[in-house]
A = this chain, B = another copy of it.
Amino acid sequence: MLPEVVLGEGKTPHQVAEIATRLAEQADRVLVTRADADCFAAVREAIPDAEYHETARSITLVRNAMRREPGVTLLCGGTADLPVAEEAAVTAELMGNEVQRVYDVGVAGIHRLLDHLPALQDARVIIAVAGMEGALPSVVAGLVAVPVIAVPTSVGYGASFGGIAPLLAMLNACAAGVSVVNIDNGFGAGYQAGVINRLALSERPD
């Protein structure tokens, strides 16, 4: 079963805690994204076994342990992209996937990326997180034959235009096998990778 999800952004800590509490009564896994420390404080008061993932700015509640299935590889180029990458990782993990993180690989240091070729070739689905010129998914999709979920980030300045530059680059990827989620949408990429990786396990989705 898929987790229940709350987008924390644009809600007060009180509102988030209230919604999370209600969902926790029905579901054994709950995810709150875009949650700051205040938000977590309010949630923890209502749900003491909730956990906070600081870099990912996410809160998780897991009441039913799930075996984690390997198959998701997560690539990320820059330190500043880590919050988005970790949001993707936390999401995919909560959905029962084991996530192999390959951080600090960017297209300006192509040999560092090529050093990780085995990790890429082991994947069933790859998440590629990148800001600036957003070229990582194109290069990666040229190296593998599995779906690549591209996540543009708002990391950059000037003509990055808050992530428009990598978003357009990813939509125009010259390699086949790339699809794209919204700017900074680590959750969306983690979720999409999660549902894709589940396909290998069962004939039909639940």
Contact = CB atoms under 8 A, between A and B. Distances in A.
A159 B172 contact: yes
A159 B167 contact: yes
A124 B197 CA distance: 11
B205 A177 contact: no
Nearest to A135: B135
A183 interface: yes
B181 A180 contact: yes
Given A108-B138, A133-B174, 5 more contacts: A2-B145, A157-B184, A171-B181, A177-B192, A179-B181
Interface residues of A, number: 82
Oligomeric state, in copies: 8
Contacts of A159: 163-164, 167-168, 171-172, 182-183
Given A124-B199, A138-B135, A188-B179, A172 B156 contact: yes
A182 B173 CA distance: 9
Nearest to A159: B171
B107 A146 contact: no
A146 B195 contact: yes
Interface string A76-90: 011110000000000
